[in-house]
Amino acid sequence: MKTTILAICLSALVLNSNVQDVESPWQSLSVREQTVVATVPKDRRWLVTYNKQEPRLSAFGESFSLRVGDSITLSERHSSYTFTPRFVPHPPGLECVHVFDARSFGGGTKRSTSFFPVQ
């Protein structure tokens, strides 16, 4: 009973959070010509779907080159982040659609968007 109440409270807190409050999943973002280069941290791995290819596990510290029209999805547990590059208006960076799925523990799903600029 206590576990169920805790799970419900936790899911309510998470579902009310905003993706802009979440830190970027990227170690670094940079721009080379018309390409955003995004690198995952060296201590974390993600399930990656790049341009609708078969999902695979990322390497530690792996970099991805994203051009206009590309997309990449990073997934883990109950969250997925889908990124597409944006170059105009400035600054360049990655548009993000975040989906949090709490259905497995009694919640719903929440979709939000944000933008991670190249620093």
For the chain, give every domain's residue range. 2-117
Single out the residue of 89, 91, 81 nearest to residue 114, CA to CA. Answer: 81
Enter the tokens of residue 66. 């994203």
* Span 34-71, pLDDT tens digits: 999 999 999 999 999 999 899 999 999 999 999 999 99
pLDDT score, position 8:
38
SS (H, E, C) 11-59: HHHHHCCCHHHCCCCCCEEEEECCEEEEECCCCCCCEEEECCCCCEECC
Instruction: Give the integer Cα–Cα distance in Å for 54 and 26.
Output: 21
Enter the tokens of residue 79. 């969250």
